[in-house]
Structures are given as structure tokens and as C-alpha cells.
């Protein structure tokens, strides 16, 4: 059990950037997920922590100890690889026993046997111990890889997309199991994933990484509701968040109004939205915060149905707004819409996220109804 | 036989068996003929085919009344040493060519392969002169060295493929499990490439054992090998086909015995190219 500090970590592969200036503090017993799209530098970060590759700059501390220059064997971390990296010539038992037979972690035969069997039971593979790796399904291989990481009680777990090669159903059940396991074990864990659902459901905190740089570190709620940038906002949620250009209109009395898609929105622009002379902002709206309404109202937006995808309990509606902006809405599953039908929709004015136009940085989040009243 | 087997299925099975039988005869008959010849006395060599009075006279002449056994052991020493040297040099080389990225990597790999491009007879003259000058002529070491031209490219190129098939993750995993690089190499990597190692080793041994041009021209009374010496029974005043056959039969034995000993690994090595999983 240990805390981990990454400090200005940088890795180049020739001219290609792996990661650059990654700084991250991981508390003891914390479960942190590193989330980002393919090629963002997630696995590079893990490999650097494990000592599989050497950094070009920066340093790593595990449990208060500088591990720069230490061999992987000397860092007392355990890793589960995306490819599982099981030893194909060995049985499940031998795979799990392998760390305990190493010079670093040598264990007496009876203790070894007891520990392998105990963790095989935890991973529900105790009936497969004598099987060869070749004869296992993907899910069983994945459990074996986890078991091999668990047996020697390391300071730190590194999990590299452990669920990505499982089929959807198994992935969901394993996600629940992992969540349960982590509360039992309490070992510091770094979990890499490109699935935002995994990142949000498992992590105490999420480190969002893109193009080799950390974009934001925060709790799942922070990252989802107050994304640091348009980029981060777009990585979380499916369908993707709508990012719409909006005009800020000064009103008498210092109040500022907002105009979205040519309509005035009944919400004041928060004071933290500093415009530096510009009149426009980008506004992020989650598809679930858009609703199609049947009753006429001056506050409604107008549009045409562009496409409609029923998904069971929910359905995704894509709308062409009056000014040509395409907007996705997530609606209840029981409603149906014909393509090209004229509709009116509402945007929940209290769920808006403001970004600056130039760099897409987070500016503010519209205040909830109650908060605004209190402010006033 | 199962009644559900169709007429064509039956014909297919029968013709497959017949074809395999024909092929087996084709492949094995020369060997059988060689053994028969080696057991015939000279007087019956041209007058009999399968019915003759067998004798061990030829084996006696080859082994007891000539120095053939000396050259037989020469061949054993030179071939085994050549294979061992190739393993010591070739396994790390194959690993490096499979794993590491370095300048001129592909050029080096190609150069090693190109050792086998030129027919031996083409390079033998300069080699002969160099060997004469440097004192390598007619030494075990000289032959072992020149045999690397035959064995090393084969070994490196076969094993390189095997190492490439092993995911680097497996090495990293073993290191994280608490092993040093050398322990990972010995405990994880070598067992994984064992089928390839066995197959390549055996092929190298066969090629080294059967080498003819190099020992013919680069060695003499001291280091000459049995492949070259077997011809002596042809070249003297009379042609002793029986003795040539006896010498050849004995010569083939080490390869056959070795192949049988490691057959289990060999079949896996040649048919399962990749490490699965």
C-alpha cells in the first residue's frame, strides 16, 4: 500500500510524443482511472510507473521512495496487461504461482499453495487451476491475469484496459466485481481505460489524458459536470455533448442575457464568464438536458428531425435547428419521431456549461435554480 | 466400416492411403537398397537383387580395417561443435533482431541470410587460400568456423520468427513478477521458443553433418569428415559399392537417432509456427 507521485513525467518515442509533463498525485488506497482516447498516452504512463520503459524526463515516487532507475522487479508493483501477458506454456496454477517463486517474492511451498488457491477462489477460477492457458476463454484468462497480480500483495496495482477484450455482458459483470474487489483489497490502483463508463463507475478520481497531456483530474462528478475543456466534455457521455455557439447580450443594469440558436435563453450568464471583449461563448448542453415539447411557447426552439434512433429505454434524436446547427437529444424510449417533422424543443437553462470560444477552456456552469435565487 | 460413409468418401480414403503408401515406398526404397547393398558380398553385388547371402564383411572392412571411425568421430565433433557455437551466438542474435530497434537492423539480418546465397563452390577458392595462410586449414576450429556459414543463418532466421511471436508484454510481466532479465530469458522465453530451437538445431546438425564441399577442400587427413572419406571406397583400384553403402548407412545413423529422440518437439516445432494466446 502506497501513495504515488508522478512529477513532470515525459516520454518521447523518437519524434513521437508518448506523454509530456504528466504530474499526478495518487493518494494511498486511492483508485484512480486514467481515461483518454486511443493513443493518448495512457499505457505509456502505466509502463513508466511499472518501469517497463524509462522516461525522458520527470520522476516517480511510490510510497515516498524514488523509484527512478529501479528495475521493474524492484518496484513491487503488479500489472495486468491489456493482452493479459500470461505464460502460455504454463497452467493457471503455475501462472499464478510464478511471482511467488521469483527470487524477490519467494514463498514457502505450503504458503504458496494456500495463497494461489485463496486468490483463485476470489477470482472464481479455482476449478481451472490445472488447465493450460491455451484452453481458457478470454474471460478466464483475464481472471487468471488478475489473480496473478493479486497473489503477491503489491504496493500498487496497475490495470491496463483489463476489460476491453471481453464481450459486453461479461464486461459489465466484471466491472461490478472489480468495484467490489477494490473495496475489499484497499490497494492503491491505477486503472487505464478508454471506456468513460468504466472510468466513472470505478474511479475515486479520473485523470483525463489526451495527446500525451493531462487535461483534467477530478472526481467523476467534477469531470462530467464541470469539464475543463470542450475536449474533455466531448470524451464523456454518449451521445456526445452538444457544443453550440452563443451570443452574450448586455442588458441594462449590468445583467447579461444569452442568445442560443437565435433565441434568448431565460438564464443569466454567470459572473465567472469573463469575455475579454468577445461577444460569443461556446455552450455545452448534454443531450439528456434537451426535451422535445408539444406545447407552443415563446421560449421554445424550432427545428427539423434529422434522424431518429430508438435504443430501447432511450432514443437518440438528431435535430437540425433553425440556423443549421445539428443537435442531439436523448429522449424517453417510448416516443417516436418521423424524419423531417417540424418540432419544438427546450434546453434546460440550468445545465449549461460555458467555454471560451478561442481555446475551448471551461469558464463556468450555469447556476441551479435555487443557487441563482440565493445569489440574487 | 460406418455405413454412412459415402462411395466418394471411401474412394477418397482408399486413394489417400494408396498415394501415401507409394510415397513412402519412393522415399524409403533408396534407404532399403543402401542397407541391402551394405550387406552383400562383392561377388553377389551385380548378380542378385533381394536374395543373397548376407554378410557383415563390408562393415568389418569399413570399421575394423580402415580408419573410417576416426573420420566419423571427426564429423561428430565438428558438426556438434558447429551447432553448439551457432546456438550460443545465434539465440541472442535472433532475440536482438526480433526485439530491439537499432540502426541497420534489417540490413544486418539480410547480410546474415546472404551467407547462404553464394554456392559453396564459388567462395571456396579464396577461403582455401585464406585457410592455408592463417593455419586454419585442416583444423577442427577451421571447419567449425566455416560451418557457421551453413548453420548460423538458418538458426537465426528460424528463431527470430519465434521470438517475434512472443509479446513483449510477457517479458515485462515476468520482470514485474520479480525476475531479472536473465531469469526471464531462461525461465520464460527459452521454454517458449523451445520447439523452434529444437527444429532449427536439428536442421543445422543435418546440414553440418552432410556438408561436403567445405571439408573436402578445407581439410585433410586430420580433420576430414566421414562424408568426404566415404568416397575413398570408390576412388581406389576397385570400386567397393558394398563398403560405400556400409559407410553411408553408418553415416546416416546419428541423424536418424537424433531425429527420433527429439521427434516429439520436432513435430510441434515445424507445425505450430506461433506461440498462441
**Residue range(s) defining the domain that contains residue B139:** 62-276
Asked, for residue B136, whether it belongs to a domain, the answer is yes
Select the residue of B167, B177, B276 nearest A102 (Cβ to Cβ).
Answer: B177
Asked, for residue B2, whether it belongs to a domain, the answer is no
Confidence grade of residue B151 (pLDDT, cut at 50, 70, 90): very high
- Looking at residue B205, its pLDDT comes to 93
Asked, for residue B113, whether it belongs to a domain, the answer is yes
Closest chain B CA to residue A160: B169
Q: Which residue has the cell 496495482?
A: A157
- Looking at residue B274, its pLDDT comes to 40
User: For A146, which DSSP code?
Assistant: H
Query: pLDDT (tens digit, 9 = 90+) per residue, A232-288?
Result: 999 998 899 999 888 887 766 666 778 888 777 777 677 777 666 667 888 899 999
Query: pLDDT (tens digit, 9 = 90+) per residue, A28-55?
Result: 999 999 999 988 999 999 999 999 999 9
> Looking at the 3D structure of chain B, how many domains does it have?
2
Confidence grade of residue A1 (pLDDT, cut at 50, 70, 90): low
Same domain membership, residue B258 and residue B202 = yes
The chain-wide mean pLDDT, for chain A, equals: 87
- Looking at residue A373, its pLDDT comes to 39
Residues A301-323 have a mean pLDDT of: 90
Q: Is the pLDDT of residue A372 over 60?
A: no
Give chain A positions within 8 Å (CB) of B276: 88, 134
Same domain membership, residue B271 and residue B157 = yes
What ipTM did this prediction achieve? 0.81
Three cell numbers written together for A291: 426535451
Same domain membership, residue B29 and residue B105 = no
- Looking at residue A253, its pLDDT comes to 63
Same domain membership, residue B272 and residue B179 = yes
* Whether A281 contacts A275, CB under 8 Å: yes
Give chain B positions within 8 Å (CB) of A72: 172, 175-176
The better pLDDT of the pair B271, B41 is held by: B41
Q: What is the DSSP string of A13-63?
A: ETTEEEEEEEEEEE-TT-EEEEE--TTSSHHHHHHHHHTSS--SEEEEEET
Cβ within 8 Å, pair B176-A88: no
Q: Are strands A342-347 and A290-293 parallel, antiparallel or unpaired?
A: antiparallel
Cβ within 8 Å, pair A103-B183: yes
Indicate the burial class of B221 (C-beta count within 10 angstroms; 0-12, 13-18, 19 or more): exposed
Cβ within 8 Å, pair A72-B175: yes
Cβ within 8 Å, pair A50-B192: no
Could you tell me the strand order of the sheet in which A65-66 lies? A16-26, A4-13, A57-62, A65-66
Residue A55 CA neighbour count, 13 Å, CB half: 26
Mutation pick from B102, B170, B175, B178 vs chain A, by most beta carbons of A within 10 Å, is B178
CATH code: domain of residue B116 = 1.10.3720.10
Query: pLDDT (tens digit, 9 = 90+) per residue, B156-209?
Result: 999 999 999 899 999 999 999 999 989 999 999 998 888 889 889 999 999 999
Same domain membership, residue B69 and residue B24 = no
Same domain membership, residue B95 and residue B26 = no
* B176 shares contact with chain A (CB less than 8 Å): yes
- Looking at residue B84, its pLDDT comes to 95
Helix axes B190-210, B68-99, angle to 10 degrees: 140
Give chain A positions within 8 Å (CB) of B167: 83, 85
The Cα of A160 is separated from the nearest Cα of chain B by a number of Å equal to 11
Q: Where are the alpha helices (DSSP H) in chain A?
A: 42-50, 92-97, 109-122, 138-150, 168-185, 196-202, 220-225, 230-235, 369-375
Cβ within 8 Å, pair B177-A99: yes
Same domain membership, residue B257 and residue B217 = yes
Residues B130-142 have a mean pLDDT of: 90
Instruction: Say which residues have a Cβ less than 8 Å from residue B175's Cβ, sequence separation at least 6.
Output: A51, A52, A71, A72, A73, B181, B184
Same domain membership, residue B118 and residue B236 = yes
* A102 shares contact with chain B (CB less than 8 Å): yes
The Cα of A169 is separated from the nearest Cα of chain B by a number of Å equal to 22
* B277 shares contact with chain A (CB less than 8 Å): yes
Give chain B positions within 8 Å (CB) of A83: 167, 169
pTM exceeds 0.95 for this model? no
| CB < 8 Å from B in window 50-89 of A | 50-52, 71-73, 75, 77-79, 81-83, 85-89
Same domain membership, residue B222 and residue B91 = yes
3-state helix, strand, coil in chain A (%, to 5): 30, 35, 40
Instruction: Say which residues have a Cβ less than 8 Å from residue B119's Cβ, sequence separation at least 6.
Output: none
Three-class SS string for chain B? Answer: CCCCCCHHHHHHHHHHHHHHHHHHHHHHHHHHHHHHHHHCCHHHCCCCCCCCCCCCHHHHHHHCCCCHHHHHHHHHHHHHHHHHHHHHHHHHHHHHHHHCCCCCHHHHHHHHHHCCCCCHHHHHHHHHHHHHHHCCCCCHHHHHHHHHHHHHHHHHHHHHHHHHCCCHHHHHHHHHCCCCHHHHHHHHHHHHHHHHHHHHHHHHHHHHHHCCHHHHHHCCCCCCCHHHHCCHHHHCCCCCHHHHHHHHHHHHHHHHHHHHHCHHHHHHHHHCCCCCC
Three cell numbers written together for A62: 511510490
Give chain B positions within 8 Å (CB) of A82: 169
Query: pLDDT (tens digit, 9 = 90+) per residue, A4-18?
Result: 999 999 999 988 889
From B104-113, B196-205, B265-274, the region with the lowest mean pLDDT: B265-274
Q: Which residue has the cell 520482470?
A: B175
* A98 shares contact with chain B (CB less than 8 Å): yes
Same domain membership, residue B66 and residue B34 = no
Phi, psi of B139 (to 5 degrees): -120, 155
Cβ within 8 Å, pair A71-B180: yes
Query: pLDDT (tens digit, 9 = 90+) per residue, A331-367?
Result: 988 888 899 999 999 888 888 888 888 888 888 887 6
Residues B140-154 have a mean pLDDT of: 91
Could you tell me what percent of chain B has a pLDDT over 70?
Answer: 93
Q: Which residue has the cell 491489456?
A: A82
Select the residue of B175, B192, B276 nearest A71 (Cβ to Cβ).
Answer: B175
The better pLDDT of the pair B55, B141 is held by: B141
Same domain membership, residue B147 and residue B272 = yes
Asked, for residue B155, whether it belongs to a domain, the answer is yes
- Looking at residue A376, its pLDDT comes to 33
Asked, for residue B55, whether it belongs to a domain, the answer is no
- Looking at residue A362, its pLDDT comes to 87
Mutation pick from A85, A90, A135 vs chain B, by most beta carbons of B within 10 Å, is A85
Q: Is the pLDDT of residue A203 over 60?
A: yes
Confidence grade of residue B273 (pLDDT, cut at 50, 70, 90): very low
The Cα of B184 is separated from the nearest Cα of chain A by a number of Å equal to 10
- Looking at residue A374, its pLDDT comes to 40
Query: pLDDT (tens digit, 9 = 90+) per residue, A143-157?
Result: 899 899 989 889 999
Confidence grade of residue A375 (pLDDT, cut at 50, 70, 90): very low
Q: Is the pLDDT of residue B271 over 60?
A: no
* B177 shares contact with chain A (CB less than 8 Å): yes
Query: pLDDT (tens digit, 9 = 90+) per residue, A134-186?
Result: 889 888 998 899 899 989 889 999 999 988 888 888 888 888 888 888 878 88
Asked, for residue B145, whether it belongs to a domain, the answer is yes
Compute the CA torsion angle B43, B48, B49, B53 (nearest 10 deg): -70
Identify the helix (H) or strand (E) that includes residue A247: strand A242-250
Select the residue of A72, A86, A103 nearest B176 (Cβ to Cβ).
Answer: A72
- Looking at residue B268, its pLDDT comes to 58
Cβ within 8 Å, pair A81-B169: yes
The Cα of B273 is separated from the nearest Cα of chain A by a number of Å equal to 14
Asked, for residue B50, whether it belongs to a domain, the answer is no
Q: Give CA–CA dist A343/A294, Å, rounded.
A: 8
- Looking at residue B272, its pLDDT comes to 46
Q: Give CA–CA dist A34/A41, Å, rounded.
A: 10
Same domain membership, residue B79 and residue B11 = no
Q: Give CA–CA dist B66/B93, Å, rounded.
A: 42
Give chain A positions within 8 Å (CB) of B177: 73, 98-99, 102, 105, 148, 152
- Looking at residue A129, its pLDDT comes to 92
Asked, for residue B139, whether it belongs to a domain, the answer is yes
* B273 shares contact with chain A (CB less than 8 Å): no
Select the residue of A52, A85, A99 nearest B178 (Cβ to Cβ).
Answer: A99
Cβ within 8 Å, pair A72-B188: no
Give chain A positions within 8 Å (CB) of B275: 88
Amino acid at each position: 500500500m502506497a501513495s504515488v507521485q508522478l512529477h513532470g513525467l515525459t516520454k518521447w518515442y523518437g519524434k513521437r510524443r508518448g506523454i509530456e509533463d504528466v504530474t499526478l498525485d495518487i493518494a494511498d488506497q486511492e483508485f484512480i482511472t486514467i481515461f483518454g482516447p486511443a493513443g493518448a498516452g495512457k499505457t505509456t504512463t502505466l509502463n513508466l510507473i511499472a518501469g517497463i520503459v524509462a522516461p525522458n524526463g520527470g520522476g516517480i515516487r511510490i510510497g515516498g521512495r524514488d523509484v527512478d532507475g529501479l528495475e521493474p522487479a524492484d518496484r513491487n508493483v503488479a500489472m495486468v496487461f491489456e493482452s493479459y501477458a500470461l505464460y502460455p506454456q504454463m497452467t493457471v496454477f503455475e501462472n499464478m504461482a510464478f511471482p511467488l517463486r521469483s527470487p524477490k517474492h519467494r514463498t514457502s511451498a505450503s504458503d504458496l499453495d494456500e495463497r494461489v488457491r485463496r486468490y483463485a477462489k476470489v477470482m472464481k477460477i479455482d476449478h481451472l487451476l490445472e488447465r493450460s492457458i491455451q484452453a481458457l476463454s478470454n474471460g478466464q484468462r483475464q481472471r487468471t491475469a488478475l489473480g496473478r497480480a493479486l497473489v503477491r500483495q503489491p504496493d500498487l496495482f496497475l490495470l491496463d484496459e483489463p476489460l476491453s477484450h471481453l464481450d459486453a455482458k461479461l464486461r459489465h459483470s466484471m466491472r461490478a466485481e472489480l468495484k467490489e474487489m477494490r473495496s475489499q483489497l484497499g490497494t492503491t490502483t491505477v486503472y487505464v481505460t478508454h471506456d468513460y463508463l468504466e472510468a466513472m463507475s470505478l474511479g475515486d478520481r479520473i485523470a483525463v489524458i489526451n495527446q500525451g497531456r493531462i487535461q483534467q483530474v477530478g472526481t467523476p462528478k467534477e469531470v462530467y459536470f464541470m469539464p475543463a475543456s470542450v475536449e474533455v466534455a466531448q470524451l464523456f457521455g454518449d451521445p456526445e455533448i452538444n457544443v453550440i455557439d452563443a451570443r452574450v447580450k448586455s442588458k441594462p443594469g449590468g445583467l447579461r442575457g444569452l442568445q442560443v440558436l437565435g433565441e434568448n435563453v431565460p438564464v443569466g450568464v454567470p459572473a465567472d464568464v469573463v469575455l475579454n471583449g468577445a461577444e460569443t461563448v461556446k455552450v455545452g448542453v448534454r443531450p439528456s438536458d434537451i426535451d422535445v415539447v408539444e406545447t407552443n411557447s415563446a421560449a421554445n426552439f424550432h427545428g427539423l428531425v434529422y434522424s431518429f434512433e430508438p435504443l430501447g429505454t432511450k432514443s437518440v434524436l438528431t435535430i437540425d435547428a433553425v440556423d443549421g446547427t445539428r443537435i442531439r437529444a436523448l429522449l424517453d424510449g417510448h416516443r417516436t419521431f418521423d424524419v423531417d417533422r417540424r418540432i419544438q424543443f427546450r434546453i434546460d437553462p440550468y445545465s449549461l456549461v460555458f467555454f471560451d470560444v478561442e481555446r475551448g477552456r471551461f469558464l463556468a456552469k450555469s447556476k441551479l435554480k435555487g443557487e441563482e435565487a440565493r445569489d440574487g | 466400416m460406418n455405413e454412412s460413409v459415402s462411395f466418394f468418401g471411401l474412394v477418397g480414403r482408399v486413394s489417400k492411403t494408396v498415394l501415401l503408401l507409394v510415397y513412402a515406398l519412393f522415399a524409403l526404397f533408396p534407404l532399403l537398397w543402401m542397407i541391402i547393398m551394405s550387406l552383400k558380398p562383392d561377388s553377389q553385388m551385380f548378380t542378385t537383387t533381394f536374395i543373397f547371402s548376407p554378410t557383415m564383411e563390408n562393415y568389418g572392412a569399413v570399421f575394423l580395417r580402415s580408419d573410417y571411425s576416426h573420420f566419423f568421430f571427426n564429423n561428430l565433433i565438428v558438426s556438434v561443435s558447429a551447432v553448439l557455437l551457432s546456438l550460443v551466438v545465434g539465440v541472442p542474435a535472433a532475440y536482438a533482431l526480433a526485439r530491439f530497434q537499432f540502426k541497420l537492423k534489417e540490413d544486418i539480418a539480410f547480410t546474415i541470410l546472404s551467407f547462404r546465397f553464394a554456392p559453396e563452390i564459388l567462395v571456396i577458392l579464396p577461403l582455401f587460400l585464406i585457410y592455408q595462410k592463417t593455419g586454419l586449414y585442416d583444423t577442427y576450429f577451421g571447419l567449425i568456423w566455416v560451418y557457421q556459414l551453413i548453420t548460423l543463418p538458418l538458426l537465426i532466421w528460424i528463431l527470430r520468427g519465434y521470438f517475434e511471436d512472443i509479446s513483449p508484454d510477457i517479458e515485462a510481466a515476468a520482470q514485474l513478477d520479480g525476475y531479472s532479465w536473465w531469469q526471464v530469458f531462461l525461465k520464460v522465453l527459452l521454454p517458449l521458443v523451445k520447439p523452434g530451437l529444437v527444429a532449427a538445431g536439428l536442421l543445422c546438425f543435418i546440414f553440418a553433418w552432410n556438408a561436403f564441399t567445405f571439408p573436402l577442400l578445407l581439410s585433410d587427413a586430420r580433420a576430414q569428415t566421414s562424408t568426404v572419406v566415404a568416397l575413398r571406397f570408390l576412388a581406389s583400384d576397385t570400386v567397393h559399392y558394398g563398403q560405400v553403402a556400409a559407410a553411408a548407412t553408418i553415416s546416416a545413423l546419428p541423424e536418424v537417432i537424433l531425429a527420433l529422440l527429439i521427434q516429439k518437439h520436432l513435430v510441434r516445432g515445424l507445425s505450430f509456427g506461433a506461440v498462441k494466446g
